[in-house]
Amino acid sequence: MSVDQATVRRVAHLSRIAVTEEEVSHLQGELNAILAFVEQLGEVDTTGVEPMTSVIPMTLPLRTDAVTDGFYPERVLANAPLAEDGFFAVPKVVE
């Protein structure tokens, strides 16, 4: 599989990336190299290999799933432009 210059322009357009005409041929080569590498990876026999999320087995420590208010509402509200009765006050947006 390879991409042509029109495909490079289309991908750049869809990605909202500004690409000059001088960059198109360079990017075409890079994209084709990436696709060739992916095709090469597809040739590797992975039969019997367990899918994994990291190269070493690891488990993340979990904390208790408990809802808290952070125990310092005054410090949080100190950053608010306007607060009333312990809540953020915002302008009315719906009439």
Task: Give yes or no for a contact between 28 and 4, defined as CB atoms under 8 angstroms apart.
Answer: yes
Task: Give yes or no for a contact between 51 and 45, defined as CB atoms under 8 angstroms apart.
Answer: no
pLDDT in tens, 53-82: 888 888 888 988 888 877 888 888 998 999
Residue 44: the pLDDT is 93
Residue 17: the pLDDT is 96
From residue 86, alpha-carbon distances to 66, 76, 80, 81 in Å are 21, 10, 11, 13
Residue 55: the pLDDT is 84
Residue 34: the pLDDT is 96
The neighbour count for residue 65, using CB atoms within 10 Å, is 5
**Residue 23 structure tokens:** 């960059």
pTM above 0.75, yes or no: no
Residue 86: the pLDDT is 87
